[in-house]
Amino acid sequence: MMGLSFIKAIVARVLFGVHSFLCIWFVTKVDCYNEYYWILAGGLILLLFEGLVILVKRKGEEFRWICPSVFIYLCCTVPSLWLLQLQQYNIAQGICNATLFTSGDELDDTSLGEFG
């Protein structure tokens, strides 16, 4: 049974880490490659440390009433999603120039389709 708890602990933290990394990467890509958003990835170091504590000290057993990995995951992901929402709001309000990733094409009303 100890092997199954190890696998579950590793899989959960890998999924949290990959999704958080992708959210942070997407924010930096959308906002003109602003490197300051990589500061949000500092939580991934905490996630790694927490995973090591669970695997080494607690032998794969999670805490009973608290789940630090979910808290760290939310601390990395929610600000990223909030920044993406702000970017969409600014595009909708016409506050910022919208470019589509690397194509350099301006985003206009015709490219939004039925949503514009």
Q: Give the pLDDT confidence score for residue 116 in this predicted structure.
A: 46
Average pLDDT over residues 21-44: 86
pLDDT at 107 over 80: no
Indicate the SS3 state at residue 99. Answer: strand
- Inter-residue contact 41 to 19 (CB < 8 Å): no
Average pLDDT over residues 17-44: 87
- H/E run at residue 43: helix 42-52
Of 9, 72, 67, the closest CA to residue 44 belongs to 72
Average pLDDT over residues 85-111: 65
- Half-sphere exposure (Cβ direction) of 96: Cα atoms closer than 13 Å: 12
Rounded Cα distance between 1 and 60, Å, is: 10
